[in-house]
């Protein structure tokens, strides 16, 4: 593997983790909004956009890696065309889900509809990226931490 292949492959892998964490953070912001009465803020919309941006960057890095490997006569995925097609197709569908989440969060009228659209579409994007189980485990941890922080803040306000 040449150095450019190695760099692109490393960046593709690092961005994969960034997409996972951006998706988990986004889900951690929008899921509590489904049960609360709070407004859908521009900050939550920005996190949906950041998550979608990491998906797009993942696709661009993957396409650059694919083109560099092909120009050097190397076969991506060791010639397994079905795996290659599924990998590329899942990335495209994840990008579509992320884009739809951004569009719907801007156009829907009610806060509940915005939270629901963001949660469902970002969850589907994470599913297409193959991170569903990791997302659920880390999301449960994030929600547990958020719950603990809210309890501590509630106790402080009762003491004061």
pLDDT tens digit string along 72-121?
888 777 767 777 777 888 889 999 999 999 999 999 999 999 999 999 99
| Mean pLDDT value across residues 146-152 | 78
Query: Does residue 31 contact residue 140 with C-beta atoms inside 8 Å?
Result: no
Which tokens is 62 given? 């993957």
Answer yes or no: is pLDDT of 133 > 70: no
CA 96: distance to chain centroid?
A: 12
Of the pLDDT bands very low, low, confident and very high (cuts 50, 70, 90), residue 135 is low
pTM value is: 0.79
Answer yes or no: is pLDDT of 158 > 70: no
Q: What is the pLDDT of residue 132?
A: 64
Q: What is the pLDDT of residue 120?
A: 92
Distance CA(148)–CA(159), nearest Å, equals 17
Answer yes or no: is pLDDT of 160 > 60: no
Distance CA(150)–CA(13), nearest Å, equals 34
| Mean pLDDT value across residues 54-70 | 92
Lowest mean pLDDT among 55-59, 69-73, 152-156: 152-156
Map out the domains of the chain as residue ranges. Answer: 3-159
* CA-to-CA dists, residue 160 to 7, 61, 154, 156, angstroms: 54, 52, 10, 6
| Mean pLDDT value across residues 21-37 | 88
Which tokens is 46 given? 């920005």
Average per-residue pLDDT in the chain?
Answer: 86
Among residues 136, 134, 101, the alpha carbon closest in space to that of 119 is found at: 101
Q: What is the DSSP letter of 129?
A: T
Residue 110 CB neighbours (<10 A)? 9
What percent of the chain has a predicted confidence (pLDDT) above 70?
A: 91
What percent of the chain has a predicted confidence (pLDDT) above 90?
A: 42
Of the pLDDT bands very low, low, confident and very high (cuts 50, 70, 90), residue 32 is confident
Helices and strands per DSSP (H, E), number in the chain: 5, 0
């Amino acid at each position: 593997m040449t150095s450019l292949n190695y760099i692109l492959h490393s960046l593709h892998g690092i961005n994969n983790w960034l997409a996972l964490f951006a998706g988990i953070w986004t889900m951690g912001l929008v899921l509590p909004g489904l049960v609360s009465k709070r407004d859908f803020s521009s900050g939550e919309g920005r996190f949906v956009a950041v998550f979608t941006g990491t998906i797009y960057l993942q696709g661009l890095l993957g396409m650059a890696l694919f083109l560099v490997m092909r120009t050097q006569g190397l076969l991506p995925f060791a010639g397994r065309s079905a795996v290659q097609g599924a990998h590329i197709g899942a990335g495209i569908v994840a990008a579509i889900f992320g884009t739809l989440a951004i569009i719907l969060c801007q156009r829907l009228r009610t806060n509940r509809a915005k939270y629901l659209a963001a949660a469902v579409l970002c969850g589907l994007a994470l599913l297409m990226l193959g991170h569903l189980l990791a997302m659920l485990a880390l999301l449960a941890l994030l929600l547990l931490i958020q719950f603990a922080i809210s309890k501590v803040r509630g106790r402080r306000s009762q003491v004061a």
